[in-house]
Chain A
Amino acid sequence: MFDTETEGARIELRALTKHYPGQPAPAVDNVDLDIPAGELVVFVGPSGCGKTTTMKMINRLVEPTSGEIRIGGKDVLSLQPDELRRHIGYAIQQVGLFPHLTIGQNIGLVPKLLGWPAARIAARVEELLSLVNLEPSLFHDRYPRQLSGGQQQRVGVARALAADPPVMLMDEPFGATDPITREHLQKEFVRLQKRLRKTIIFVTHDFEEAIKLGDRIVVLRERSHIAQYDTPAEILARPADDYVAGFVGQDATLKRLALLRVEDVAPAGPPQQAGLPQVAAGTSLREALDVMIAHGSDRCSSPSGVLTYTALCGAVGTGRPSSPGREPEAVPSLPAPEKVVAGGR
Chain B
Amino acid sequence: MTSATAITSDPLSAEAVLRAVEGPGAGAVTTFVGLVRDHNVGRKVLWLDYEAYAPLAEKALGIIIAEAEARWTGARMAIHHRTGRLEIGEASVVIAVATPHRADAFAACRYAIERIKQIVPIWKHEHFEGGEVWIEGATADANDEAAREAALKIACA
Q: Do A and B bind each other?
A: no
Residues on B lying within 8 angstroms of A by beta carbon are: none
